[in-house]
Amino acid sequence: MDSYIKQWHDLILNCNFDNTYKMVWSKALVELSLDINNDSDKEIIVFDFNEIAKLCLKYYWNQTIYFDLVQSPNLKKPPEIITSTKKLVKEFFSKKGSLQPVRFEKVDFTSLALENQYETTVENIARTLRQDVCWRFKKLKGNIYEIYDLDTKEERVSFHKDNVLKLKIYSDFLFTVINYRWTQMLEGFNYSPRISRKVRAIDEDNIKRGSLGKFHKYLDLMFEDGKRKCFYCGDVIQDAHLSVDHVIPWSYMFSDDLWNLVYCHKGENSKKSNRIPVEEDILQLENRNMKLLERMENKSREYNQLQIAVKKDYVRQFWTSFKG
Ligand SMILES: [Zn+2]
């Protein structure tokens, strides 16, 4: 392996688990290298902490808004960058008047009149990068790896052009190593399922919340008179208000499974988004699944999946781990 890239590889794979700052820092630098042209006439390439901070915000925004993953082992004192990212997400939700997640790349902070809040968040992140991250990333077991030069006063990091081009050439490899290490860290502080898929998904722009209409035909088996009732309040739901809800939040499961899906009134599920279901709901869902299994034909794929879920008691297992 190229010796410069080997240093990056070693720093990424051996850095400690205090939080995931080093992951967003290194990932942002590799992403910025993609914009550098081979025929650039500059010998030294400089990245500004503000540009780096914007990318860090992008990674944390997407991970937080979709999956709400914990980024450090200390739950009482979350990392500052996460706190400021969450604050911005909250302001975004309140401007939109909805809890529907939107990718960072698609958010227009100016038209939402959130430009100042956005700039402040970026400045806060840049400050943390200067104080805690930029120099620490180069240090490993008492050694300093001279992979870049820092001007902390001007909040800049500079590279020899040859080195930044190496980052570009090896970017796929480095992104894979960073995501692997990031996944490993997150597994240390999160009990949520499918963490490696969640980490990868924020790069691939394929976080889809698909239509749940295909589950109607199974959920309808519970209502022989055709009157669909709300899982939470028990009232009959008019078609215009019908919605399918994940009892254990989608953000946690990152998948649509029949054993976790119920009918409810439209407003009711957006209000409870990401909240921990109460035990009463869990008991009710376990009972529903047993009854639903009896009513399904035992040939379909959904039948087999529901059977496994009932046998292994996924509802309670995932609920327990979601509660933490
Ligand atoms: Zn209801």
Residues with CB under 5 A from ligand 1 (ion): 230, 232-233, 265, 268
Q: pLDDT value at position 40?
A: 83
Centre of ligand 1 from the C-alpha of residue 108, in Å: 34
Shared-domain flag, residues 191 and 90: yes
182 within 8 A of 23, measured Cβ to Cβ: yes
Distance 285 CA to ligand 1 centre (A): 15
Based on the fold, state whether residues 177 and 226 are members of the same structural domain.
no
Residues 193 and 218 in one domain: no
Q: Which domain holds residue 243?
A: 213-323
In terms of DSSP bridges, do strands 156-160 and 149-151 run parallel, antiparallel, or are they unpaired? Answer: antiparallel
Task: Find out whether 8 and 171 touch, Cβ atoms under 8 Å.
Answer: no
Ligand 1 centre to CA of 244 (Å) is 11
Token pair of 71 as six digits: 């980024």
**Domain identity same for 54 and 143:** yes
Report CA(243)–ligand 1 centroid distance (Å): 10
Together in a domain, 55 and 172: yes
Give every CB contact of residue 181 below 8 A, 6+ residues apart in sequence: 12, 13, 15, 23
Number of domains in the chain: 2
Walk along the chain (324 residues) and give the pLDDT tens digit of each residue: 899 999 999 999 999 878 899 999 999 999 999 999 988 889 999 999 999 999 999 999 999 999 988 899 888 888 999 999 999 999 999 999 888 889 999 999 999 999 999 999 999 999 999 999 999 999 999 999 999 999 999 999 999 999 999 999 999 999 999 999 999 999 988 888 999 999 998 888 767 777 899 999 999 999 999 999 999 999 999 999 999 999 998 889 998 999 999 999 987 865 665 677 899 999 999 999 999 999 998 888 999 999 999 999 999 999 998 887
Spacing, Cα 313 to ligand 1 middle (Å): 25
Give the model's pLDDT for residue 274. Answer: 62
Conformation bin of residue 202: beta by default, left when phi > 0, alpha when psi is -120 to 50: alpha
CA 140 to ligand 1 center in whole angstroms: 55
Residue ending a domain, choose from 152, 178, 204: 204
In a shared domain, residues 43 and 88: yes
Q: How far is the CA of 277 from the centre of ligand 1 (A)?
A: 15
Are 187 and 248 contained in the same domain?
no
For position 271, what pLDDT does the model report? 62
Among 204, 237, 256, residue at a domain's last position: 204
250 CA to centre of ligand 1 in angstroms: 19
Cα–Cα distance for residue pair 255/197, rounded to 1 Å: 11
Q: Indicate if 128 and 151 belong to the same structural domain.
A: yes
Ligand 1 centroid to 146 CA: how many Å? 60
**Which is nearest to 10 in space by CA: 135, 178, 148, 168?**
178
Question: Are 182 and 260 within one domain?
Answer: no
Statement to judge: residues 292 and 261 lie in one domain: yes
Domain boundary among 152, 169, 204: 204
Give pLDDT, residue 204. Answer: 82
Judgement on whether residues 222 and 192 belong to the same structural domain of the protein: no
Map the chain to HEC letters.
Answer: CCHHHHHHHHHHHHCCCCCCHHHHHHHHHHHHHCCCCCCCCCCEEEEEHHHHHHHHHHHHHHHHHHHCCCCCCCCCCCCHHHHHHHHHHHHHHHHHCCCCCCCHHHCCCCCCCCHHHHHHHHHHHHHHHHHHHCCHHHEECCEECCCCEEECCCCEEEEEHHHHHHHHHCHHHHHHHHHHHHHHHHHHHCCCCCHHHHHHHHHHCCCCCCCCHHHHHHHHHHCCCCCCECCCCCCECCHHHEEEEECCCHHHHCCCCHHHEEEEEHHHHHHCCCCCCCHHHHHHHHHHHHHHHHHCCCCCHHHHHHHHHHHHCHHHHHHHHHHC
Domain co-membership, 153 together with 251? no
Determine the distance separating the centroid of ligand 1 and the alpha carbon of 247, expressed in angstroms.
13
Give per-residue burial for 234-258: e unless 16+ CB within 10 Å, then b.
Answer: eeebeeeeebbbbbbbbbbbbebbb
Q: Residues 102, 114: contact at Cβ < 8 Å?
A: no
Strand partners, 119: none
Largest Cα separation within the chain, whole Å, is 75
